[in-house]
Amino acid sequence: MEAIQVAVRAASIGIGPCRLLGLLYFVAVMQDRPMSRSVGAHTADPCPRCLVEEVRTGSLVPTAERGAVGYACGRCGHSWSRPVGDDLDVYDIVRADLPERTLYGTVWQVEDDRVQVLDTSSGRLLWVERWRTILY
């Protein structure tokens, strides 16, 4: 479908140009990550070593400076970590690995250890622990 048709159709259901650009950006970002796939309400990611995809919500590993999130592969036993993001801003697009599901949304408010996210699928605002969020 051509961009202009998408814009006209979006406008007809009340989605303005800014919102539309945001949505298109979100879709493009998501398509850039072909290695991850949906498993129920979660997104599964590949292990950096054996590439087996699993749902891993990670766990907070406090370090001297700032926290890190640790992961372990259930298949090969490899473990790795990522730093907790400290550069989140309002309107950033994030993923949050919640125990019950993988959340995608837009940052609405940032506090020291928690972030309020506008859930893309439900349109609801909810607070999540900062360490669970991953900047897209």
Residues that bind Zn ion (CB under 5 A): 47, 49-50, 73, 75-76, 78
| Rounded Cα gap, residues 46 and 33, in angstroms | 11
| Rounded Cα gap, residues 34 and 51, in angstroms | 13
Nearer to Zn ion, 71 or 104 (CB): 71
Nearer to Zn ion, 44 or 126 (CB): 44
Q: Map residue 21 onto helix, strand or coil.
A: helix
Minimum Å gap between C-beta 71 and Zn ion is 10
Minimum Å gap between C-beta 72 and Zn ion is 9
Nearer to Zn ion, 66 or 75 (CB): 75
Nearer to Zn ion, 37 or 75 (CB): 75
DSSP structural state of residue 130: G
Minimum Å gap between C-beta 44 and Zn ion is 12
Taking only Cα atoms into account, the Rg of the chain, rounded to an integer number of angstroms, comes to 17
Minimum Å gap between C-beta 120 and Zn ion is 29
Nearest-10 Cα torsion for 107, 126, 24, 95: 70
